[in-house]
Structure 1
Amino acid sequence: MSIDGEAIRLHERYKRGEVSPVEVARAQLGAIGRLNPGVNAFVLVDDCVALEMARASEARYRRSEALGPLDGVPITIKDTLNVAGWPTRRGSRTTSDAPAPRDAVSVARLRTSGAVFLGKTTTPEFAWKGLTESPLHGVTLNPLDPTRHAGGSSGGAAAATALGLGVVGIGTDAAGSVRIPAAFCGVVGYKPTFGTIPLDPYPAAFWQLPHIGPITRTVADAALAASVMSGAFGSDWTSLARTSLDNRLSKQPRLPKLRIGVPAGLANHLDPVVKRAWEDALSVIAEDSSIATVEVPIDESRDIVGALYGLGCAYAASQVSEEKRADLHDALLEFIEPVQRLTAEDLLRLQRRREEIASQLSAILIDDVDVLLTPTMPCLPLRADAPAAAAADWFEWCPFTPLFNLSHGPAVSVPWHSEGGIFPIGLQVGAAPGRDGVAIAAATMIETLGDRRRPARSRASIHVG
């Protein structure tokens, strides 16, 4: 059994005439007006565009010519991706407010699917950290507890999704930026295999770390949105070796006896509250699956990704003109300063170890276990008044997500509500590159097990009027 996606349910309601895309779009825009001021999830909301797209969708449904299950479904897009007619500010005062001339390929595919674009969501400057706060747009707060951060860098997408503002929030993830805020906000975050969703423009200086991925309230919706955006595209050479995801990805048959690997020493990273929820999750999951301890260099992987990611951020900062450089966030400049001292020998060593670890992990995930399971985050969301150093040192409190950017495999963060727990934790399910179906099947199983204990008040759903 799996939890049905909201997109499919909305699609069926549209076909039956129970509700219209225009009614849903208006309800969504009204809800954004009421709820967004409390969290700061959006940097741009375009009522005219949303309603125009909704009217076109409604006309297609009346003619029984819907384009597919995303037709008329409201979505949001992180402000690092180009949307034709909207500026791409990337959370920085150094960027232009001129509208983008064309869609990124992932956005164009969503447009072609008939999805309704509500607006763009917040990101830290150049998406550089695991919290969403920027000089241009301020701080994004957590809908579950506005005294805490939403996480990042796709924090606006996660906060909006958690509030029922959009069925899908499109984010980007180079070290966990889809999965971190999904875990902190109690929703699903899916980073497909590297290259599955083309990057446009291709981020040549980021060491093949970035991915595009959806944030949703169900695994089924994440799988559907990723499938729509997937498929080869010429300007991203890494996408050419990947096949498109099947839009029935979330309907994969359940594995007869899931083999789950858990990294040795993992519990040493966990805060007490997260540790209790993690042990609770393992006790439930173990009833249906076999769990084995595996040796994976979690800390070293995190440090390698941190260095390579810092180099990418340093390159992004170097592209800012000298007259605008003073507008860059001081914390970003502090973050990139150490990597600028790396030598060619340092870079060769980092890349060699990256390849060794990726091969080691792939062998484990093919020969020994089906998936690797960790908490997505070792801690609860940081408080909004946390010291600035905690934000700058975000790799220190984010040990688990970088592993699957290093290794290119798919990873899904699924919320888990432990009995008596105030906050859900995220459970990260990762698989070998290309085995997205296995990762989705495992995430669906965990979602189904966890849904039995989810508090009724936490069942956020889309605002439809």
Structure 2
Amino acid sequence: MRRFKSRELSPVELMEATIRQAERVKDSVNALTYTHFDEAIERARRAETKYARGARTGALEGLPVGIKDESEIKGKPTSMGSLIHKDHVADRTSTMNARILAAGGITHARTATPEFSCSGVTWSRLWGVTRNPWNREFTPGGSSGGAGASLASGTSSLATGSDIGGSIRIPASACGVVGYKPPYGRNPDDLPFNLDFFCHTGPMARTVKDAILLQNVMAGPSPHDITTLRPKLRLPLDYKPIKDWKIAFSMDLGIFEVDPEIQRNTLAALDVFRSLGATVEEVDLGWKPQDLQAGLAYLQHIFGGYLSNLLDEHGDKMTTYARQFAERGRKSKATDYVASLEVIGNMYLTLGPILERYNVLVCPTTALPAVPADFDQSTGSVEINGKQVNAMLGWAMTTPFNMLSRCPVLSVPSGRASSGVPTGIQIVGRTYCDADVFRAGLAYETAQGGWYHDAATRPVL
């Protein structure tokens, strides 16, 4: 935006470069589904005219924003990554997309998702396999994998995501970008999943400040979403240092096997916080491996139950992983759901008091850098440290903070694995203390010198 206003760069130049890059990597990365390039160029011209005239501009004026292919834009297709919806054209615009458009953001493309966003990897029968720009043998994560891959490969400036079990933070980690899961109710969502407290919409970006920029547009109460919070929270772009902060950390949350390369990069990130004058102390959350099963049981009951309605009529069109998810949802019982709530409540009985003593909690975002790009959670297996873990989300350390959904969580890069795939850390804040995680994240990013600032810090494509 600063370069637009100073005339160093025009919205048209940026959009043309973004489209060229999208065309160049579309086969190798496959991050985008529907594209609207002609319309995007026209909107970029209008934005350029505004800047040239010194007219009032929106917070995102002229920026290419990749919109996850699950929310709606009136008159445009939305597939949810499914053959079932391949011909669906929206007759409404989702609230968060309306806000992005009103702020001058340009929706040049939709970003790929797994079918119905129900996987930690991104491939579908409709769109094929989306690959990690850093190493195309591996997944960019999911379910906002197209968003992460688009940001990392330079085919969007900002991107939207949604997170029901880690779907913003997993791809943020695997692609080396920034992803934010806001507290439940901070950002609007569409029915019926706005009523699911595991589910959050949020921003993805290449820098912490860019994530704040998009979050400030997305956030705020909506007359179409009863869960949204009043008043609107507007986050500052600048923060004081974190000297004398107390930071809690847990390497495994008591739940996960963690790959040695993840451990190495997490310890290095903790040293950065120490260099900023923070005290870092390891804590025991008292959580047990079986606690993750409660989160999965909740997802199967709510999300799987929703998908199960499609089985009889459309089961033959579904991916193997979506069909398995729906079949498990059909078998889930109300008692399973209630039992999951009891576990969630007990998990916060230990985390809550810890967050009263510390400013934030830091832990890895994923327990493994990434799984293969075409991994199928319904048939495949995942091992970490020689031990088999849950194939769906046992390699992602994100679901506990969907369970404890009022805590804000920011995922930022922590380094790269020997495969070239990035790794990340989660910065977890007290309930509804959004600014704390951004303050810590921005201090960390600044100390690291940022990411994606020159050719040496970008993937080779």
Deviation at 1:336, TM superposition (A): 4.0
Unpaired runs of 5+ residues, structure 1, are: 1-10
Which one-letter code corresponds to 2:222 in the other structure? F
- Specify the alignment match of 1:62 in structure 2: 52
Deviation at 1:232, TM superposition (A): 0.2
Which deviations, in whole Å up to 9, do the C-alpha atoms of 1:374-431 show, x marking residues without a partner? 1111112212365642488221212x21122111211111112279894431011011
Between the aligned partners of 1:455 and 1:112, the Cα distance in structure 2 is: 29
| Structure-2 change in CA distance of 1:426 and 1:17 (3 Å) | same
* Residues 164-173 or 346-355, more deviating: 346-355
* Residues 13-22 or 133-142, more deviating: 13-22
Unpaired runs of 5+ residues, structure 2, are: 383-389
Between the aligned partners of 2:129 and 2:180, the Cα distance in structure 1 is: 23
- Specify the alignment match of 1:4 in structure 2: none
- Structure with the largest fraction of helix: 1
What does residue range 8-27 of structure 1 map to in structure 2 within 5 Å? 11-27=1-17
| Structure-2 change in CA distance of 1:421 and 1:290 (3 Å) | farther
Matched, 1:381 2:370: yes
- Specify the alignment match of 1:439 in structure 2: 437
What does residue range 64-83 of structure 1 map to in structure 2 within 5 Å? 64-83=54-73
| Structure-2 change in CA distance of 1:432 and 1:78 (3 Å) | same
Secondary structure of the residue aligned to 2:221 is coil
- Specify the alignment match of 1:53 in structure 2: 43
Secondary structure of the residue aligned to 1:172 is strand
- Specify the alignment match of 1:7 in structure 2: none
What does residue range 397-436 of structure 1 map to in structure 2 within 5 Å? 397-398=395-396, 400-408=397-405, 409-417=407-415, 422-436=420-434
| Structure-2 change in CA distance of 1:369 and 1:15 (3 Å) | same
Secondary structure of the residue aligned to 1:145 is coil
Q: Which of residues 241, 249, 258 is equivalent to 1:262? A: 249
Secondary structure of the residue aligned to 2:83 is coil
CA contact (8 A) 1:196 1:243 kept: no
* Residues 108-117 or 383-392, more deviating: 383-392
- Specify the alignment match of 2:447 in structure 1: 449
Which one-letter code corresponds to 1:119 in the other structure? A
Runs of 4+ in 1 over 6 A off after TM superposition: 418-421, 452-455
Between the aligned partners of 1:18 and 1:266, the Cα distance in structure 2 is: 46
Aligned-residue Cα RMSD (Å) equals: 2.5
| Structure-2 change in CA distance of 1:108 and 1:298 (3 Å) | farther
TM-score normalised according to structure 1 size: 0.89
Between the aligned partners of 1:264 and 1:78, the Cα distance in structure 2 is: 31
* Residues 329-338 or 94-103, more deviating: 329-338
Count of aligned residue pairs for this structure pair:
446
- Specify the alignment match of 1:8 in structure 2: none
What does residue range 211-230 of structure 1 map to in structure 2 within 5 Å? 211-230=200-219
* Residues 51-60 or 313-322, more deviating: 313-322
Between the aligned partners of 1:274 and 1:345, the Cα distance in structure 2 is: 36
Which deviations, in whole Å up to 9, do the C-alpha atoms of 1:253-292 show, x marking residues without a partner? 2233221111375596211222222222223322321112
Between the aligned partners of 2:152 and 2:227, the Cα distance in structure 1 is: 32
| Percent of matched pairs sharing the same residue | 30
| Structure-2 change in CA distance of 1:301 and 1:451 (3 Å) | farther
Between the aligned partners of 2:141 and 2:41, the Cα distance in structure 1 is: 30
Which one-letter code corresponds to 2:241 in the other structure? R
Between the aligned partners of 2:290 and 2:311, the Cα distance in structure 1 is: 34
CA contact (8 A) 1:94 1:320 kept: no
Deviation at 1:169, TM superposition (A): 1.0
CA contact (8 A) 1:171 1:178 kept: yes
| Structure-2 change in CA distance of 1:452 and 1:135 (3 Å) | closer
CA contact (8 A) 1:28 1:166 kept: yes
TM-score normalised according to structure 2 size: 0.90
Between the aligned partners of 1:453 and 1:197, the Cα distance in structure 2 is: 26
